[in-house]
């Protein structure tokens, strides 16, 4: 926005004399280059997603959906053509929702404790959290599998949820902690001073103030869970999820229904993210 504004200003009252390269001219060129660069980055980020969306409308005849054959809506009517795919997507959604709820509750409490109090083991907790983020999924998946096997736990739906909670917990805790650290403690004291119990103070004051952080953390957890492949592969047993089904399908060709389901999941994510951003802007 500010780029176009400065363009207008330059054009109206600061037109440089022709044939001379003024500093203003250089700045205008810089602004243009910056704009091109920004659009290139946006394109780079969104091109793969656009391809996924577009190929959901591809009138492909073959098993593999990689060359454009013409526009069609027929795949939208045949979403249930592969029952195992539908089951896998439902599984993924169930796992993601369950893991997100558990992660958000535990992670928010962790974030509150880490942001607010000094306690024994705090440094260790921080270290473990960053280790959980930094450790390769392959390592975490393999170690979880050997843990479940040695503990005699049958891998399946429950172990996938446990694994997903495990690797997304740190993200929620860190997001909430950042929010908590930024809080003015005297706001909560003011609530207490005005007669609110600790319980009321938390729900009426603290929680609304950290809510944007909690929602961001929950979104991260959901996004991490719904598309996780590596750790899920190790811990899923006989349970099929959306990413696992796609991986299996790549050998024989990914049907356009996968693109459509991917588009839907992406759209839900975008809607939630937009709502959270708008809310956050209104809130603080």
Partner 1 sequence: MTEIQVGTEAADAASRSPQTPAIELDEVVKEYVSHGEVVQAVKGVTLTIAEGEFFSLLGPSGCGKTTTMRMIAGFEDPSRGNVRLHGQDVTNVPPNRRDVNMVFQSYALFPHMNVWENVAFGLRRKKVAEAEIKRRVGEILEIVDLTGREKRRPREMSGGQQQRVALARALVNNPRALLLDEPLGALDLKLRQAMQIELKRIQREVGITFVYVTHDQSEALTMSDRIAVMNDGMVEQLGTPREIYERPATAFVAGFIGTSNLLSGTVDCLRSGFAVLRLGDEDQVLAEGGSFSAGEPIAITVRPEKIGISTEEPTGDLSIVRGIVSEVVYLGLYNSYTVSLAQGAEVTVFQQNALDSTSTAERGDAVWLSWRPQHSYAIGS
User: Where along the sequence are the contacts to partner 1 (CB under 8 A)?
Assistant: 184, 186-187, 189-197, 200, 204-205, 208-209, 283-284
- Minimum CB distance to partner 1 smaller for 81 or for 189: 189
Secondary structure letter of residue 251 according to DSSP: T
Q: What is the rounded CA–CA span in Å between residue 170 and residue 167? A: 7
Pick 188 or 228: Cβ nearer partner 1: 188
The nearer residue to partner 1, 153 or 196, going by C-beta atoms, is: 196
Answer yes or no: are the C-beta atoms of 235 and 148 closer than 8 Å. yes
For residue 191, the minimal CB distance to partner 1 (Å) is 7
CB of 274 to partner 1, least distance (A): 20
In the DSSP assignment, the letter for residue 261 is H
Least distance from partner 1 to the Cβ atom of residue 187, Å: 5
Nearer to partner 1, 2 or 284 (CB): 284
Nearer to partner 1, 61 or 186 (CB): 186
The set of residues, in sequence order, having a beta carbon less than 8 Å from that of 158 and lying 6+ positions away, is none
The distance of closest approach from Cβ of residue 198 to partner 1 in the complex, given in angstroms and rounded to an integer, is 8
User: Any bridge partners for residue 71, and if so which?
Assistant: 58
Output the CA torsion sign for 16, 17, 19, 20: negative
CB nearer partner 1, residue 79 or residue 211:
211
Residue with smaller CB distance to partner 1, 64 or 198? 198
Residue 66, helix vs strand vs coil: coil
Query: Are 111 and 179 spatial neighbours (Cβ–Cβ below 8 Å)?
Result: yes
Q: Contact 180/210 with Cβ under 8 angstroms?
A: yes
**Which pair of structure tokens corresponds to residue 44?**
């780079």
CB of 211 to partner 1, least distance (A): 8
Task: Give whole-number Cα distances, 22 to 2, 15, 18, 28, 90, in Å.
Answer: 20, 10, 9, 10, 62
Identify the DSSP state of 20. Answer: -
Q: How many residues does the chain have?
A: 284
Report the nearest approach of partner 1 to the CB of residue 197 (Å): 6
Nearest distance from C-beta of residue 281 to partner 1, angstroms: 11
């Amino acid at each position: 926005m500010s780029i176009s504004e400065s363009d207008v200003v330059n054009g109206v009252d600061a037109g440089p004399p022709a044939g001379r390269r003024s500093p203003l001219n250089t700045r205008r060129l810089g602004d243009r280059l910056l704009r091109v660069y920004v659009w290139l980055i946006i394109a780079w980020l969104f091109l793969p997603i656009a391809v996924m969306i577009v190929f959901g409308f591809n009138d492909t005849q073959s098993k593999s959906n990689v060359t454009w054959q013409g526009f069609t809506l027929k795949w939208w009517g045949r979403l249930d053509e592969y029952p195992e795919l539908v089951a896998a997507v439902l599984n993924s959604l169930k796992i993601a929702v369950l893991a997100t709820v558990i992660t958000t509750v535990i992670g928010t409490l962790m974030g509150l404790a880490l942001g607010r109090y000094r306690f024994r083991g705090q440094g260790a907790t921080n270290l473990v959290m960053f280790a959980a983020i930094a450790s390769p999924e392959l390592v975490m998946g393999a170690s979880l599998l050997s843990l479940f096997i040695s503990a005699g736990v049958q891998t399946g739906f429950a172990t996938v949820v446990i694994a997903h909670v495990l690797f997304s917990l740190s993200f929620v805790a860190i997001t909430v902690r950042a929010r908590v650290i930024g809080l003015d403690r005297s706001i909560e004291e003011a609530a207490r001073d005005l007669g609110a119990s600790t319980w009321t103070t938390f729900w009426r004051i603290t929680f609304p103030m950290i809510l944007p952080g909690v929602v961001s953390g929950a979104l991260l957890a959901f996004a991490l869970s719904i598309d996780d492949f590596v750790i899920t592969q190790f811990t899923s047993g006989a349970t099929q999820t959306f990413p696992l089904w796609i991986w299996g399908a790549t050998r024989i060709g990914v049907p356009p229904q996968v693109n459509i389901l991917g588009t839907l999941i992406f759209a839900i994510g975008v809607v939630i993210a937009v709502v959270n951003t708008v809310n956050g802007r209104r809130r603080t």
